């Protein structure tokens, strides 16, 4: 029973990390129809940058802010410099991000080598605490991670639901032409969304580097996890990313806990089942 509870909690913590990666990925897809195959690379780049900043300044907070800002800026450059010229050419855009991801991954190996990097957790979060009302002890960092994901989700939700930008953005997801016809500046929104998505990926990289470790290869594993999460949850939907991340997080943890040799295949089996039942994902709109 305790084992089950712990695995569930681990699933939620993993889902928190997946959500931060998947939400940006999904928003970018929803608004621009871009499958950002460089999303995992931005994640890993953010993590490494965070490590460097933390090593220099000994400040975890500074690390996460710097990594988020740097990857947001890079995402903006990627969108403005390369992708903007190919708007609407979905395959071309996906291919550009693939090429960029190959280059980033290679340059990261050249810079940081193949060793594992761990970012020291901020001091107050380095221990385990008792979960109120139970006998369970759990890592306070993982609990904080769940909090960060919830707060980020809430902030994104408020942004989408309560601000004028958000209204335009949601209108853009539903009907891009209509927004353009209304004379709204969709370009600025595209740029903003890409920057937010990239920045979230970079911050998630730092969070992952603190929870687990950074090493070449996690870029593609998180890209694949984000992919699975948005397929399960439904493309372009914030709630969908959350639900998808939760499903994938649970599948990952229960998989490795109870059927470890089939852990990764299990995630995708769940995805295939969802596809059969609802081709547009659990919360995706029919297309």
Which residues 83-112 are close enough to bind another protein by CB under 8 A? 85-86, 89-92, 94-96, 98-103, 105-107, 109-110
117-136 positions binding another protein, by CB under 8 A: 117-120, 128
In the shown chain, the binding pattern of residues 40 to 59 toward another protein, with x for contact by CB under 8 A and - for none, equals: -----------x---x----
12-31 positions binding another protein, by CB under 8 A: 13-14, 29
- Of residues 180 and 275, the one with the C-beta less far from another protein: 275
Q: Whole-angstrom Cα distance, residue 136 to residue 146?
A: 17
Among 65, 220, 282, 285, binds another protein (CB under 8 A): 220
Task: Check if the beta carbon of residue 27 is closer than 8 Å to that of residue 172.
Answer: no
255-274 positions binding another protein, by CB under 8 A: 256-257, 260-265, 268-269, 271-272
Q: In 3-state terms, what secondary structure has residue 128? A: strand
Q: What angle do CA 185, 236, 282 make, to 5 degrees?
A: 155
Task: Check if the beta carbon of residue 242 is closer than 8 Å to that of residue 24.
Answer: no
93, 96, 102, 104 alpha-carbon torsion, rounded to 10°: -100
Among 65, 213, 282, 285, binds another protein (CB under 8 A): 213
CB-based contacts of 124, cutoff 8 Å, min separation 6: 140
Give the number of residues in contact with another protein, rule: CB under 8 A: 83
Contact between 82 and another protein by CB under 8 A: the answer reads yes
Provide the sign of the torsion angle of the four alpha carbons 32, 33, 38, 40, taken in this order.
positive
Among 57, 116, 163, 187, binds another protein (CB under 8 A): 116
Contact between 191 and another protein by CB under 8 A: the answer reads no
């Amino acid at each position: 029973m305790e084992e089950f509870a712990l695995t569930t909690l681990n699933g939620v913590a993993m889902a928190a990390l997946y959500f931060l990666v998947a939400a940006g990925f999904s928003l970018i897809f929803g608004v621009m129809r871009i499958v950002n195959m460089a999303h995992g690379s931005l994640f890993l780049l953010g993590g490494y940058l965070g490590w460097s900043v933390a090593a220099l300044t000994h400040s975890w907070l500074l690390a996460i802010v710097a990594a988020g800002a740097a990857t947001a800026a890079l995402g903006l450059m990627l969108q403005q410099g390369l992708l903007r010229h190919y708007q609407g050419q979905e395959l071309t855009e996906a291919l550009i991000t693939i090429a960029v991801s190959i280059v980033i991954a290679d340059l990261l190996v050249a810079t940081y080598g193949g060793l594992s990097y761990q970012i020291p957790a901020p001091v107050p979060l380095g221990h385990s605490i008792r979960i109120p009302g139970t006998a369970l002890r759990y890592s306070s960092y993982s609990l904080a991670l769940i909090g960060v994901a919830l707060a980020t989700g809430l902030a994104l939700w408020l942004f989408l639901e309560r601000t004028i930008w958000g209204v335009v953005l949601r209108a853009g997801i539903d009907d891009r032409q209509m927004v353009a016809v209304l004379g709204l500046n969709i370009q600025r929104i595209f740029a903003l969304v890409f920057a937010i998505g990239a920045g979230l990926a970079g911050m998630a990289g730092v969070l992952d580097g603190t929870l687990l470790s950074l090493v070449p290869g996690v870029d593609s594993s998180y890209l694949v996890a984000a992919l699975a999460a948005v397929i399960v949850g439904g493309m372009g939907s914030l709630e969908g990313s959350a639900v998808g991340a939760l499903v994938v997080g649970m599948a990952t943890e229960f998989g490795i806990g109870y059927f470890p040799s089939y852990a990764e295949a299990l995630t995708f089996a769940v995805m295939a089942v969802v596809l059969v039942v609802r081709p547009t994902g659990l919360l995706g709109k029919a297309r």
